[in-house]
A and B are shown apart, each in its own frame.
Chain A
């Protein structure tokens, strides 16, 4: 099959981050800080991306503000013709820096929310004073006039704060909020006992979102990622493997999704060795799960197979150990029941401690 050109690219500029959220999507084994691509490499990758049809660029991390050259990277992205979105916790941004990002042409800011009060937010982010700082940054963002999306990451410990998060988005002047229940990849997989929402919480969140969408229509757009362990059909991950988006890691590996490194048999090309175009159309990892030929039963003969593409490959890997299996979230999967039982068991472990994400090392640091 011929793949369509990608629309979006997630550039993970660095794994460094002042926060240490226990659900961080960064890999549990992180590349060392000094193997990060430099400014010129990224600028070239942005140009290659734009030339092959990428329209949307998401600058992410870790914390992208931890890169000193962030403003130059935004300039390079805009010069390449990309719509440029900054995904940030806010920590590391000053009013001066934001003004520079504005001058560089930054299109949009997506601010993450770990909780709606300092007690919750600073505990989850593992960073004291982070919440107060974030509010300050939100004020500067509003003053400059950047379009803002608030990204509330929810799990068992803070799902009760969803109504307040919706209010905060409006108070900050955000046009959009992403209500994202934690997806269990990366560090979150280690934290299923501490973070798994209860079935009741998941249901209640569905209701709150449905009502809020009606009430706030035309004022606040709500994009919602439900707690999928409690659902009956999987999500269409990445819009279909290798159809819509790609992800570049701090050290230049190109992934079909941010969790793809969890699939052991895949190998990833690097932007230092090949063009993005070559990697997207011919890279082994991109072709591994494109289309439907790789599917097994029950997906193979299912009429939803081009709707959800069998769900998430990384979830099939994480839960069943087979990346070509039906996403265990699916009611047709033989593992569906056991997943739901596991989810209930995880969600009942009230005393489970948070396991915080660890920082990437320098390659000269001794490995302990």
Chain B
């Protein structure tokens, strides 16, 4: 995922709070993916207008965490979602 990429959740993929298991999940066709705190924080910010760079930048500031760490941590996760067609990207 490039910092200029703009991620968006396509129709049919949505965040859901799983009360029974006490976690956030990403619901998609035939799949329910359990999200960790970082994954949830990022997907929560995905709005189809802001870039991956902007989203991770804002999160780094909010949690006073190093931005590079957030980017490496989440880029692989987002790429994996993308290859399953659970995430679309425009440049």
Most buried by B among A217, A218, A220: A218
Q: Residue on B with the closest CB to A53?
A: B20
CB distance from B29 to the nearest CB of A (A): 5
Which residues on the B side are within 8 Å of A55 (C-beta)?
16, 18, 25, 27, 32
Of residues 1 through 43 on chain B, the ones whose CB sits less than 8 Å from some CB of chain A are 10-14, 16, 18, 20-21, 25, 27, 29-30, 32
CB-CB < 8 A to B16: which residues of A?
55, 81, 83
Q: Are A223 and B30 in touch, CB under 8 angstroms?
A: yes
Q: Given that A83-B27, A176-B85, A217-B83 are known contacts, is A56 also in contact with B12, CB under 8 Å in the complex?
A: no
Whether the Cβ atoms of B29 and A218 lie closer than 8 Å is no
Q: Which of B12, B18, B84, B85 contacts A53 (CB 8 A)?
A: B18
Residues of A within 8 A of B18 (CB): 53, 55
Interface size class of A (residues with CB under 8 A): 20 to 34
**Bound CA span A7–B85, Å:** 21
* Interface residue ranges of B76-91 to A (CB < 8 Å): 82-85
How far does the alpha carbon of A13 sit from the alpha carbon of B14 in the complex, in Å? Answer: 25
Residue of B nearest to A147 (CB): B12
Closest CB in chain B relative to A152 CB, distance in Å: 15
A50 vs chain B, min Cβ distance (A): 9
Q: Chain B residues with Cβ under 8 A from A52's Cβ? A: 20
B7 → A minimal CB distance (Å): 14
How many angstroms between the C-alpha atoms of A145 and B14 in the bound complex? 15
Contact present for A85 and B30 (CB under 8 Å): yes
Tell whether, in the assembled complex, residue B27 and residue A146 are in contact, meaning their CB atoms are under 8 Å apart.
no
Is the beta-carbon distance between A175 and B85 smaller than 8 angstroms?
Answer: yes
Distance in Å: Cβ of B75 to nearest Cβ of chain A = 15
- Flag whether A5 is at the interface (Cβ < 8 A): yes
Q: Is A238 interfacial (CB-CB < 8 Å)?
A: no
Give chain A nearest CB distance to B39 CB in angstroms.
16
1/0 contact trace for A301-332 toward B, CB 8 Å? Answer: 00000000000000000000000000000000
Q: Does A355 contact B (CB under 8 A)?
A: no
**Across chains A and B, which 3 residue pairs bring their CB atoms closest together, nearest first?**
A147-B12, A53-B20, A175-B85
A residues in contact (CB < 8 Å) with B? 5, 7, 51-53, 55-56, 81, 83, 85, 107-108, 110, 145-147, 149, 175-176, 217-221, 223
Starting from the known contacts A83-B32, A221-B85, 13 additional A-B residue pairs (CB-CB under 8 Å) come to A5-B21, A55-B16, A107-B14, A107-B27, A108-B12, A146-B12, A147-B10, A147-B13, A147-B29, A175-B29, A175-B85, A218-B82, A218-B83
23 contacts between A and B (CB under 8 A): A5-B21, A53-B21, A55-B27, A56-B30, A56-B32, A81-B16, A83-B16, A107-B12, A107-B14, A107-B27, A107-B29, A147-B11, A147-B12, A147-B13, A147-B29, A149-B29, A149-B30, A176-B29, A176-B85, A218-B83, A218-B85, A219-B85, A221-B84
